[in-house]
Amino acid sequence: MLAIVCLIISTWPLAAAAHGGSSGSQAGIPIPSLSHGEMAVIAPYYGRIISLAESASDTDETFRRLLNFAQIQRVYCLWGMMPGSTSDEESPFNECSHAYLAAGKAVLLQMRTMKDEKAAVGDIVSDIDTALVRNNLSLTLCKFSGESFNTADLIRPKPADVILHAKSLATIVAAGLVVIAALWLTARAVRPPPYP
């Protein structure tokens, strides 16, 4: 268990700034902010957006950098699997979820100008717009709603915040216990039977 905690802590450098905006280099591509309501609606479409973007042929450097940022940022958010990462403003994974979903939205908007993807992108944009209006979510805000991002600055959850957030900590501990149990069962299964 200590090894799992050390591994998690080593993947999030403590010296790294956790906020976009004024911290770090601004040499990257700016990514507009995303409201909390937009984030909740775009999250279910993220896979379709990225899948379509990966198959796009008419790309440029800006598009590829936005796509790369969205994919890397999502990994830092543990693939969006942490409970409350998109719905709980207090989750240590909420800010990084804002970042990867804002990048996903930027990728989607970039694809609107591509000939081959225009129809599929139009369908996704229409679905997202409809969901925003139907659920009255376009103006739902949280403390990260006004924060813009930059491809030069990855947003990482702070380990101390993860430890203090009960749902996040419980999920990580449960995942660690499942891994340990699986390793133990595998070791028992491959161990040769004792000789009489």
Per-residue pLDDT tens, the chain, 196 aa: give them.
544 554 455 454 443 434 444 444 458 999 998 888 888 899 999 999 999 999 998 899 999 999 999 999 999 998 988 888 888 888 899 889 999 999 999 999 999 989 888 899 999 999 998 988 888 766 666 667 678 899 999 999 999 999 999 999 999 999 999 999 999 999 998 988 777 6
Cα 49 from Cα 136, distance rounded (Å): 22
For the chain, the residue count is: 196
**Which structure tokens are listed for 62?**
């800006």
**Which structure tokens are listed for 63?**
């598009």
Q: What's the pTM?
A: 0.77
Collect all residues with Cβ–Cβ distance below 8 Å to 89 and sequence separation of at least 6: 36, 142, 143, 144
Write down the pLDDT at residue 16: 40
Burial of residue 58 (number of CB atoms within 10 Å: 0-12, 13-18, 19+): exposed
